[in-house]
């Protein structure tokens, strides 16, 4: 009507072809046939055969585009499936490697610690049967301490093996157990959240380190472990009331990297770690988003 014949022809052909390509086939044909017919009848001196040929060419062109799009979609789906298969294979290989490492640790380290416990227990019994005196008492104290350290190392090794195998107990149960072993009070609050393994491990390690520090630097004091599930994360607090007995040589042991290690764990997970004096004692507070 406006004389834009070329533009009208382009729009009619494109509309008919795209309808066949992108719509369901029956809907595409319902849209494309009138468009193609309207274009074909505008061809000067076109007879019925010419109109039919023009319409068929447009519809076949749209159908060719449809087949090409389907082929490309199938190729993309196949590529996605291959990537998913490669990722699953990589995960399976990683799990197999972690299981192998767990077996190696169990066969070497766990057995070694178990043997040390046996020998230390035998040494403790033999020392207790010896003559009394300051030397005996000091030797017995050191052997008992070494035995306790070996037992703690064995427990931590088993926890690491469970983490490698993906068999970790719920974090609140673990916290109650280690608090009971250290003679600390424990309080768990909030509704349990599903947390990634790295967050669970960070909470466990920080709790262990904080309780160890409390045992070394605040002997005889009251220790409280507070763990709570919050709206968008978890919070762990370990507080002590300060030393009430002589600290002894145990407070001088350690490399001094415990607090630094806890800080690094918190930062890697986007969390925060607060440490410092609180009254006569000391406080460690960890917050990690989930």
Residue-wise pLDDT tens digits, 138-163: 777 777 777 777 777 776 676 666 66
pLDDT at position 248? 53
The bridge status of strand 281-289 relative to strand 233-240 is antiparallel
Q: How confident is the model at residue 63 (pLDDT cuts 50, 70, 90)?
A: confident
CATH number assigned to the domain with residue range 170-290, chosen from the 4 options 3.40.1360.10, 3.20.20.140, 3.30.565.10, 3.40.1110.10: 3.30.565.10
pLDDT at 237 over 90: yes
For residue 112 the two structure tokens come to: 């070694």
Mean of all residue pLDDT scores within the chain: 78
Q: How far is CA 15 from CA 18, 37, 54, 171, in A?
A: 5, 12, 14, 61
pLDDT at position 255? 46
The domain segmentation of the chain, as residue ranges, is 5-83, 170-290
Three-state DSSP class for 43? coil
Is residue 66 a contact partner of residue 20, using CB atoms and an 8 Å limit?
A: yes
pLDDT at position 234? 92
According to DSSP, residue 250 is labeled G
Q: Which residue has the tokens 């074909």?
A: 40
Side-chain half-sphere of 230: how many Cα atoms within 13 Å?
A: 12
Q: What is the mean pLDDT of residues 88-116?
A: 73
pLDDT at position 250? 45
pLDDT at position 288? 92
Name the residue among 124, 119, 156 with its Cα closest to residue 142. Answer: 124
Is residue 212 a contact partner of residue 284, using CB atoms and an 8 Å limit?
A: no
pLDDT at position 91? 78
Three-state DSSP class for 2? coil
């Amino acid at each position: 009507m406006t004389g834009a014949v070329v533009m009208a022809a382009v729009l009619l052909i494109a509309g008919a072809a795209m309808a066949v390509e992108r719509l369901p086939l029956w809907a595409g044909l319902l849209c494309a046939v009138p468009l193609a017919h309207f274009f074909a009848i505008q061809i000067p001196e076109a007879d019925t055969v010419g109109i039919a040929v023009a319409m068929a060419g447009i519809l076949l062109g749209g159908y060719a585009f449809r087949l090409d799009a389907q082929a490309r979609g199938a190729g993309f789906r196949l590529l996605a499936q291959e990537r998913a298969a490669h990722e699953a294979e990589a995960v399976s290989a990683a799990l197999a490697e972690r299981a192998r490492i767990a077996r190696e640790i169990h066969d070497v380290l766990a057995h070694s610690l178990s043997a040390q416990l046996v020998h230390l227990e035998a040494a403790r019994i033999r020392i207790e049967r010896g003559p009394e005196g300051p030397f005996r008492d000091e030797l017995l104290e050191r052997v008992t301490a070494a035995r306790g350290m070996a037992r703690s190392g064995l427990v931590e090794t088993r926890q690491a093996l469970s983490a490698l195998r993906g068999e970790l107990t719920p974090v609140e149960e673990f916290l109650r157990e280690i608090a009971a072993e250290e003679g600390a009070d424990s309080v768990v609050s909030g509704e349990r959240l599903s947390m990634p393994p790295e967050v669970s491990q960070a909470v466990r390690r920080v709790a262990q380190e904080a309780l160890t520090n409390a045992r070394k630097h605040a002997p005889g004091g009251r220790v409280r472990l507070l763990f709570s599930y919050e709206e968008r994360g978890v919070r762990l607090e370990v507080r002590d009331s300060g030393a009430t007995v002589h600290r002894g040589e145990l407070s001088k042991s350690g490399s001094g990297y415990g607090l630094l290690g806890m800080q690094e764990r918190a930062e890697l997970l986007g969390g925060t770690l607060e440490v410092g004096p609180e009254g006569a004692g000391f406080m460690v507070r960890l917050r990690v988003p989930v």
